[in-house]
Amino acid sequence: MTSAERTSATGLEAHIRGVRLAASDDVSAKDVLVQIFTRERAEPSLVVPAVAEPLIVWVLSGEAAIEEREPGEDWVASAVRQGDFFLTTSAVPYEMRWQVTSAAPFVVMHVYLGLQLLERAIEETDQGVPDAIRLREVSGGRDEALSLLLEQFRLELTTSAQTSPLLMQGIAQCLAVHLARHYRDDNAENIALRNALPAYKLRRVVSVMENTLDEEFRLSELAHEIGLSEYHFSRLFKRATGHSPSQYFIKLRMTRAKQLLAETDRSIIDIGMDVGYSSASHFSQVFKREVGVTPSHYRRP
C-alpha cells in the first residue's frame, strides 16, 4: 500500500477511513486542533503519514486489537479500550491495522498541539529555550490526569452550543504543560535517532521482558528481537524509557513481585523465584533497594 510520507494535521483525516463526528477546524483557537471520529470496525492495512505536530489519539468508545509496524516488518499487536491513548511524534510513516472487538463503536479523538505552544511549555519547565520538541512515544497508555484534560475537549466540542476558542486554548496550554512535565524525552540526542525505536518496537521488547521475568536477562536477545546491535539498542532504549534495558527489566520484576505479594498468599521465596531470584535473601535485597521496604514489610496489611 502506498501513501504520502508526510501530511498536515488537517490532511491526515483523508488517509484514515471513518466518519468525522466533531472538529474544531472552524474554531479560532490557536495552537490546537481537535477531531472526533468513528472508525471502521475493521481496517486491513493503511500507511499513516508522519505529521509535524505531536498527535494524541484518545479512545472514547469501544475496544480494538491494533497492530503496527514499519512497512515490511513483523506486526506488533496491542489491545486498547476506552481511556487508552497514543502519543505519536514519529517523523516517518508507519503501517497499522485493527479489528474492533466490542459491540460498541470504535470512536477516537485526535488532538494536535502546535509546536510553538509545546516549545513554550518545555521552555518554562526547562528554564531555557529547547532546541527541539522531544516527547516520548506512547502506544496504548493510560494517564488519568491526561484523560481529565482530554475529556474537557470532548465536552466542549459535543455539548456546548458554541465552542469557545478561549476555553480550547486554555485546555491546550494545560495539556502542553502536562506533556512537557511527564512525557519529555530528556535523553534524546536528535529526532532521527529517537525515531529509530518507535513505540511499537519498544512494546515488542517490553513484551519479551514481561514473558521472561523468571529467566536471566539477555541483552543480546532483546537487541536481536528488533534488529539492532546491543550498543545501539541500549542507547535507544534508554532514550525511550529513561532506564537502561537491565534497569527496566528489574523494575518489571519488582512490579510483578508487588502484584503477587499484594494479591496472593504465595510464599516470598516462591514469588522471588517467579521473578528470577533463586535466593530469598537476594530477592529481598533487590526488592528493598528498588521499592524501599522488604517483601515481608510490603505484604503487611
- DSSP string computed for 216-252: ---HHHHHHHTT--HHHHHHHHHHHHSS-HHHHHHHH
HSE-up (13 A, CA, CB side) for residue 166: 0
In the chain, pLDDT over 70 holds for what percent of residues? 88
User: Please, what is the end-to-end C-alpha distance for the chain in angstroms?
Assistant: 56
Please give the C-alpha separations between residue 110 and each of 15, 85, 250, 298, in angstroms, as whole numbers.
14, 10, 35, 41
Cell of 66: 491494533
Q: Under a CB-based contact definition with an 8 Å cutoff, are residues 250 and 287 in contact?
A: no
Taking residues 67-71, report their average pLDDT: 78
Q: Which of the four pLDDT bands, split at 50, 70 and 90, describes residue 2? A: very low
The dihedral region occupied by 59, where left means phi > 0, alpha psi between -120 and 50, and beta the remainder, is beta
**For residue 297, pLDDT beyond 70:** yes
3-state DSSP: the chain helix, strand, coil percent, rounded to 5?
A: 45, 25, 35
Distance between CA atoms of residues 61 and 261, nearest Å:
34
**Locate cell 491494533: which residue?**
66
Quick check: helix, strand or coil at residue 271?
Answer: helix
pLDDT for the residue numbered 162: 87
Distance between CA atoms of residues 141 and 108, nearest Å:
14
Element (H, E) at 1: none
Task: Indicate the residue type of 196.
Answer: A
Cell of 214: 523468571
Q: Under a CB-based contact definition with an 8 Å cutoff, are residues 218 and 192 in contact?
A: no
Question: pLDDT tens-digit profile of 72-108?
Answer: 677 778 889 999 999 987 767 888 899 999 999 999 9
Q: Which of the four pLDDT bands, split at 50, 70 and 90, describes residue 239? A: confident
Taking residues 206-214, report their average pLDDT: 92
Q: Which of the four pLDDT bands, split at 50, 70 and 90, describes residue 53? A: confident
HSE-up (13 A, CA, CB side) for residue 219: 14
**For residue 190, pLDDT beyond 60:** no
Distance between CA atoms of residues 147 and 58, nearest Å:
8
Q: Is this model's pTM higher than 0.75 or not?
A: no
Taking residues 245-266, report their average pLDDT: 91
CB atoms inside a 10 Å sphere around CB 35: 23
**For residue 3, pLDDT beyond 70:** no
Cell of 213: 521475568
Question: pLDDT tens-digit profile of 116-171?
Answer: 888 888 888 765 555 556 788 888 889 999 999 999 999 999 998 888 989 999 99
